[in-house]
Amino acid sequence: MGKIIVATKNVGKVRDFAYLLAGKGIEVTSLLDYKDIPDVVEDGETFADNARKKAEEIAERLQIPVIADDSGLIVDALDGRPGVYSARYAGEHKSDEANLLKVLEEMNGVPSEKRTARFFCALAVAIPNKDTIIVEGTCEGMITKEQQGNQGFGYDPIFFIPSKEKTMAQLTKEEKNQISHRANALKKLKELLRNNELLVTRVERL
């Protein structure tokens, strides 16, 4: 079995990746298992910048493959906010509840047809002495006017998916991991690995 580190201390993200990579012969660990590694400063201008930085810095430090994502919510009526600031939108303390309440407050009075939004994920895979792979995935939806559901994490309770007639927080884990931005990015990564012989060689090392 290979081993890969998911460069996050977010328990929800760790669960998502463990589920998405289940049955692939890959042992998934996270930064929760490496308490001495300091947080990587996410100061990039884009999701891809931050994902690359996290993956490369930790892969260089530990000399094993690292997968990192930077993901967040993009709301059209808010000119793309929270965007790359999604995790800290209401402050540096990183409160999911405070973040989504801030979005709801800022969206107060916005009509239903203008509440379009999407979850966005940039996924980076860094392997020591190899080029970093970056893929991106999205999931389209609408911002609700109140929280609905208690599954998932982050902005899931206010992100409504019309095709499912549910918020992300009302979906089962199986449903979420068929349509989520993170799942869509991972699907692209798998396809890239299948179609490129060099990359297949890389993934066999994971």
Binding residues for substrate: 8-13, 71, 153-156, 176, 181-182
Helix, strand, or coil (residue 161):
strand
Judge contact between 152 and 12, C-beta under 8 A. yes
Binding residues for Mg(2+): 70
Q: What does each C-alpha distance from 138 to 70, 188, 191, 200 come to in angstroms?
A: 12, 11, 16, 24
For the question of residue 36 being annotated catalytic, the response is: no
Dist CA 4 CA 27 (whole Å): 6
Check 16, 69, 70, 96 and give the catalytic one: 70
- Run of H or E including 67: strand 66-75
Binding residues: 8-13, 70-71, 153-156, 176, 181-182
What are the residue numbers of the active site? 70
